[in-house]
Structure 1
Amino acid sequence: MVNPKIGILLGAVGVLVVLLPIVALFLTGGYNSPIQQFYDRPLAPGLPAGLILTLAGAAITAVGLVLFVRGMRTLSPYSSPLGPPRISRRSEKSPEEQEEIEREISSFLDDNRPTMEIRTMSPRPRQQSVGQQAVVAKSKTTEPKLIVVTRGVDMVCKSCGAVNPIGSKICSACSAELFKPDPKATVCPVCGAPLDESYKIGENIVCRLCFSELKYVETG
């Protein structure tokens, strides 16, 4: 098992080796000092002493970091100076205490149980069938119909007595109006003039303009 402290120590040494040239230059007074000349002296082809020391310090730092990581991975979780953590266990209860707790829980649930209200729905009244319903017969009122008994052939002007054909509205002789429409009066089915139902011959109503005889008959 690797001790993480060794990794920390090697990392510190590597950082010190890397920072040593900078500290030496700062303390000895510039680039013309003997230490600067030593760092500039080539120890290998193309590699001055300062660069070799910097690379060596970086390598030592990397090795220290690797050792520290491996040591932390293999470290036991109970290697703390305080010792392993204490796990508190619940005290076991006696059967009498368990029964008492269960009794209290059941009584609490009974007291707080929601009450359900059951509503009874009253049955809907049955609708009577078509055969059971009373059939109300509506009596239809029959209106009498005005029919033509004798049809007139001419319309006589009341002003001048001239004869005009059926359907005329203005006298061809004196240009007088043959009749005035009356929306409230019954109309003669022959000439269209309003009827005077009091003007009769027997039971038949006579039109005063075309002299057609009319009468009412019941329609069933």
Structure 2
Amino acid sequence: MSTSIQSHIVTLLSKKEVAQHVFELRFSKPEGFEYTAGQFVQFLIPNGEKITPRSYSISSIPTDEYLEFCIKLHEGGLASEYIRAMNVGSSLSCKGPLGRFVIDVNSHDHYFVATGVGIAPIMGMIRSLIEEKNTDLPVRLLFGVREEEDVFWIDRLEELKQKHSLFDYTITLSQPKPTGGWQGLKGRVTDHILHHLGKHKFYLCGNAGMVKDVRALIIEHGVDAEDIHFEIF
């Protein structure tokens, strides 16, 4: 993989809302664009006479013919409003790939913990392990969101379970609606992470509070800090 940071022009191929305010976007992949699952790019957002960079993790894998991103759009946000207004066929400048939040390939099992759109790079990493590297080791995902309307990519996770018998995932809702019909786990990811501690490589991605809390908790219960990789959104 090239170590230089290149500038590219990408074209929007599709845009789909997969959960409330969460969009799955696929862009054309520039010729020669080489990356490792888990990395990110900087979109260069026009801002008057200036250009404002915004970083977004790639959720696709290198063998895909497109670049995919999972982005939560915030009302009034510069990048959010720009992306919201983009139509299929629109072009955007970006730089990348960037980042070191990538799979540490070794003999350990892999345990992924994501909240919200923190699942973006983790989806790429899990897919890469299963579809590209053909791992024969257990792969586990703990995915936390606030409520049922925030859950997405269930179909992908189920498809990955069919492809790899040792892949398992759990979804937990931190604030499920009392009138909802959620039958799965409830609570924060910290309420469930200790159920499956072992000799894993841990990959954490989400908001700063979650990453800090999970990291502190599993270190307290014997996990080596060197076995924890994380990225904060």
- TM-score, normalisation: structure 2: 0.13
Structure richer in strand, relative to its length? 2
Structure richer in helix, relative to its length? 1
**Which protein, 1 or 2, shows the higher relative CO under an 8 Å CA cutoff with sep ≥ 6?**
2
Higher alpha-carbon Rg: 1
